[in-house]
Structures are given as structure tokens and as C-alpha cells.
């Protein structure tokens, strides 16, 4: 699989997983720096996601310094035997990146080593989930009445 295919596969896996967990997802299609996905929490707040994908467990190259942002999360995806997800905040990624960059020699690209990334496995609980339980209850009530949660969200928010 090419790097192009690996990256897109990882983005689609992350988007599917976030959608399954109740978020509304938009792809930036490369038009936003350090942001692959925009996620909307059911309470109306939002956050951005940078996805980094690998076929096998290894370092993740991050060529530019990660910005310090409270509303951004990084999701690293390993496709082999998976997908496996590793979720971190910008406040975790940035210092790890700076530490690695300070140790580089020659023309090496900055990256996060596998040992750093693997401790962030399946940390979905660090993502904003405000009012998610209320949304689930609303969906159950509306499904009893015939409307799905997505239909009601679309009609409430966009129509």
C-alpha cells in the first residue's frame, strides 16, 4: 500500500470510529494545515483531528512543529492487525515532538517514536463528549417515534 493509500485509509477509519461514537465529521481534504478532520460534538462544540497513519507499528513522521491548540487532537493509526488507534492531545504531542527534534542529527525528519505513541492506545475518553448521553437518550426517544437521531439533528440544526 502506498503512503497515500495508507493515510487515506487511516482517515476513513478514524472518521468511521468517531461517527460511531456520536460525532459529526467533516474531511478537510488537505485544505487545512495540521487538520484532517473536523469533529462536531452533539452539544455544538467542535474540535480538529490530525490523523497520522502507518501500515505497521513504527515512528510517525511529523515534519512541522505541532501547534499548541486546546481544540486539537492527534489520532495515530496502525493498520496492521487492526486498525489500532492511539489518541493524544496537542499538549502531549507537541512536547514529545520538540524533545525528539532536539535530538536529531543531519537531515532526519522529526517524528514521534513508537515507544511514545503506543502509550496512547484507545484513549477515546480524552475526546470531548459533553452531553453525549443526552443525545443517546434523545435518539432512543425519537426512534420510538420513528425518527433517527441523525434525522432529528439535521432537522434541528440545518433546516
Whether 157 shows a pLDDT value over 60: the answer reads no
Residue 137 confidence (pLDDT): 62
Q: Domain 3-128: which CATH class?
A: alpha beta
Mean pLDDT of 50-61: 93
pTM listed for this prediction: 0.79
Residue 110: band (very low, low, confident or very high) from pLDDT cuts 50, 70, 90: confident
Instruction: Tell me the Ramachandran region of residue 16: left when phi exceeds 0, alpha when psi lies from -120 to 50, beta otherwise.
Output: alpha
- The full set of domain ranges for the chain reads 3-128, 131-159
Cα gap 48→69, rounded to integer Å: 9
Question: Percent of the chain scored above 70 by pLDDT?
Answer: 80
Cα gap 81→100, rounded to integer Å: 27
Amino acid at each position: 500500500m502506498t503512503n497515500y493509500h495508507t493515510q487515506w485509509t487511516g482517515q476513513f477509519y478514524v472518521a468511521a470510529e468517531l461517527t460511531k461514537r456520536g460525532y459529526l465529521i467533516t474531511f478537510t481534504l488537505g485544505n487545512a494545515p495540521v487538520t484532517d478532520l473536523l469533529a462536531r460534538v452533539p452539544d455544538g462544540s467542535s474540535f480538529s483531528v490530525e490523523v497520522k497513519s502507518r501500515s505497521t507499528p513504527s515512528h510517525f513522521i511529523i515534519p512541522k512543529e505541532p501547534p499548541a491548540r486546546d481544540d486539537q487532537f492527534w489520532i495515530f493509526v496502525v493498520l496492521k492487525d487492526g486498525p489500532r488507534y492511539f489518541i493524544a492531545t496537542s499538549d502531549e504531542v507537541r512536547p514529545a515532538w520538540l524533545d525528539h527534534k532536539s535530538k536529531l542529527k543531519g537531515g532526519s525528519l522529526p517524528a514521534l517514536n513508537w515507544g511514545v505513541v503506543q502509550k496512547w492506545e484507545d484513549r477515546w475518553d480524552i475526546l470531548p463528549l459533553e452531553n453525549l448521553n443526552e443525545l443517546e437518550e434523545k435518539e432512543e426517544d425519537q426512534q420510538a417515534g420513528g425518527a433517527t437521531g441523525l434525522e432529528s439533528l439535521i432537522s434541528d440544526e440545518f433546516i
